[in-house]
Amino acid sequence: MTLAFKNNNWKWVSLAGIILASFIAIKLSFIITSKTPKRPNLLLITLDTLRPDHLNSYGYERLTSPAITKLVEDSFIMDKAFTVATNSGPSHATLLTGLYPAQHGLQNNGQKIKATTPTLAEMLRQAGYNTAGFVGYFALAEESGLNKGFEEFEINPIASHDHDHKEPKDDLQGFEAVADWLKSWAESAEKPPFFIWMHVQNIHESYDPPAPYNSMFEKISAPQTLAGFEGEFDVRCINDLAKAWRAGILPPHFKDEMLALYDGEIRLVDDQLEKIFNGLKSSGNYDDTIIVLVSDHGEVLFENYENKFYKQGPGHTGRYSDASLRVPLILKPAIFHGFKKTSRISQMVSTVDLVPTLLDLIGLPVTKNLPGASLVPVMRLPAKHSTPKNIFFHEKPYGVEYTGVRSEQWKFVHKLEKGRESFLLIDLVGDPKENHFNDSPSQVKAFKSLLETWKKKNQSIHEEQRITEEMRQALIEGGYIRK
């Protein structure tokens, strides 16, 4: 009897030991995995000068973007996303640092971010990522400081303003470089997660896609004489278009042709992105990759603002009109993030929110100095996180300072040029085309106070930089500074 009791005890002790060992193994496994969580890859695609309302996923009828529409099936799409600046340099610096231009220091094309400003690439490289950057615009190259943290960094410029001497293959070099890098990474023995920044310049003015995209949506006129226009007029040239449009001598059919060329650029980009997305799928890395598609700013096409505060298009010098401010923002999470569904987000968001969102998704700490907020809570529970917010914007393009704020109903823009102040107040509900000044004293006072508070909180703590003469000449040649 006693022996049987002892044997039974040993059975229980043995069973308890197995349970305890299993518990310890599970606990250790949890500790190990919690210290080294699975990190998603990140592909950040910035499509320069892309308006959201020319994408099918934002309601456009002409078939410009079937591949992006397919991506949206796995993504969150932000219906009301706005940039913080309408110049490529300042806006891209915000996308890569999570800071406003006055904070990161790059307030004008041709300037450089502060040496002490951390970039997303630096953060991810420290976390063990392979990092590579591919840009198509010289003001985003090494001179901007945006190469910080990238192990590999190259520029594949687009000859936007040199129509007769460009080679069609030049428009595809950036895409091919990204595809080659991804193929090499996929075939490597050791594959840390990657972060690729892919900047696409093709859609930027002037609009001159190669065949077949140059005639995909409409036949384009050859260069010709135009009544009242000095010299030969070329519809592919943004400078010619802007000059004729603002002088009131542009025949209507050229407007249609220009829109067809703009859409042709978008379709070229979409077809190239499809190849990259398919490459990720065929290599088995699509599900583990966060893909972000965003623009640095929009574009004024032929909006005719009666308020005269905005400069008339085409181009994106109609600063802080919604045509310039509003951008597409599409975010595909990794499958293991476990979102129940992807959907459209109707809350207003800013490009300053992107870096904290990506850090949150990757599992890295979101630093307290970032002025934006992670959009992950909104993506998890859109209905619960729908509090209205203000969108702020600021930059100093070529000596003129713009500061502004946009709410759901109002937009207030303050302009400082050569010591002279001016402002614009728009009631976006009553005046959605932004044609008329609103003279509400109470609203002007409230927004002035709001901007002053915002500027003090997000003010620059460094001396403003001067662009080099070399960069100035490059900006002139690129059509960004008019002689």
pLDDT of residue 385: 66
Tokens 């300037």 belong to 111
- At 314, the pLDDT band (50, 70, 90 cuts) reads confident
Least confident range of 25-39, 107-121, 198-212, 325-339: 25-39
- The residue that leads in pLDDT, 157 or 183, is 183
Residue 297 structure tokens? 């700013």
Average model confidence (pLDDT) across the chain? 86
Q: What is the mean pLDDT of residues 409-426?
A: 94
pLDDT of residue 23: 44
pLDDT of residue 311: 79
Beta-strand relationship, 130-135 and 76-82: unpaired
User: Is residue 3 scored above 60 in pLDDT?
Assistant: no
Residue 206 structure tokens? 């002037």
Count Cβ atoms below 10 Å from residue 27 Cβ, excluding itself. 10
Q: What is the mean pLDDT of residues 10-29?
A: 43
Count Cβ atoms below 10 Å from residue 245 Cβ, excluding itself. 20
Per-residue pLDDT reduced to its tens digit, 422-472: 999 999 999 999 999 998 999 999 999 999 999 988 875 444 555 555 555
pLDDT of residue 482: 45
Query: Position 246: which residue type?
Result: R
pLDDT of residue 465: 54
By the 8 A CB rule, do 63 and 69 touch? no
pLDDT of residue 399: 82
In 179-288, the DSSP E strands lie at 194-200
Q: In Å, how far are 65, 317, 397, 400 from 418, measured between CA atoms?
A: 43, 18, 13, 7
Query: How large a percentage of the chain has pLDDT more than 70?
Result: 85
Contacts (Cβ under 8 Å, ≥6 apart) of 214: 208, 220, 261, 264
Least confident range of 108-117, 157-166, 187-196, 360-369: 157-166
pLDDT of residue 16: 46
Helices (H), 283-339: 322-325
Residue 24 structure tokens? 């310890």
User: Is residue 473 scored above 70 in pLDDT?
Assistant: no
Per-residue pLDDT reduced to its tens digit, 318-370: 778 999 999 999 999 999 999 987 789 999 999 999 999 999 999 999 988 89
Beta-strand relationship, 344-350 and 326-332: unpaired
Contacts (Cβ under 8 Å, ≥6 apart) of 358: 42, 44, 120, 290, 292
By the 8 A CB rule, do 82 and 351 touch? yes
User: Is residue 228 scored above 60 in pLDDT?
Assistant: yes
Q: Which of 381, 281, 375 is nearest to 335 (CA)?
A: 281
Peptide bond into 440 cis (omega under 30): no
By the 8 A CB rule, do 387 and 375 touch? no
pLDDT of residue 93: 97
Q: Which of 36, 39, 37, 40 is nearest to 292 (CA)?
A: 40
Question: What sign results for the dihedral spanned by CA atoms 398, 46, 59, 347?
Answer: negative
Least confident range of 39-43, 165-169, 175-179: 165-169
Contacts (Cβ under 8 Å, ≥6 apart) of 148: 113, 119, 121, 122
Using a 10 angstrom Cβ sphere, with 0-12 exposed, 13-18 middle and 19 or more buried, the burial of residue 160 is buried
- At 13, the pLDDT band (50, 70, 90 cuts) reads very low
The DSSP code for 234 is -
By the 8 A CB rule, do 314 and 238 touch? yes
Measured between alpha carbons, how far is 222 from 240 in angstroms, rounded to an integer?
Answer: 13
- The residue that leads in pLDDT, 465 or 311, is 311
Domains and CATH numbers, the chain: 40-389 (3.40.720.10)
User: Is residue 384 scored above 60 in pLDDT?
Assistant: yes
User: Is residue 24 scored above 90 in pLDDT?
Assistant: no
By the 8 A CB rule, do 442 and 449 touch? no
Q: In Å, how far are 158, 209, 345 from 149, measured between CA atoms?
A: 24, 32, 31
Measured between alpha carbons, how far is 69 from 58 in angstroms, rounded to an integer?
Answer: 9
pLDDT of residue 160: 64
Q: What is the mean pLDDT of residues 174-201?
A: 95
User: Is residue 29 scored above 60 in pLDDT?
Assistant: no
User: Is residue 173 scored above 50 in pLDDT?
Assistant: yes
Query: Position 193: which residue type?
Result: P
Phi, psi of 371 (to 5 degrees): -75, -20
- The residue that leads in pLDDT, 469 or 207, is 207
- At 478, the pLDDT band (50, 70, 90 cuts) reads low
Per-residue pLDDT reduced to its tens digit, 55-101: 999 999 999 999 999 999 999 999 999 999 999 999 999 999 999 99
pLDDT of residue 388: 74
- At 2, the pLDDT band (50, 70, 90 cuts) reads very low
Contacts 24+ apart (CB under 8 A), 312-319: 312/242, 312/245, 312/246, 313/242, 313/245, 314/205, 314/238, 314/241, 314/242, 314/245, 314/258, 315/205, 315/238, 315/242, 316/49, 316/86, 316/205, 319/86, 319/397, 319/402, 319/413
pLDDT of residue 138: 86
By the 8 A CB rule, do 209 and 146 touch? no
User: Is residue 283 scored above 70 in pLDDT?
Assistant: yes
Measured between alpha carbons, how far is 40 from 285 in angstroms, rounded to an integer?
Answer: 10
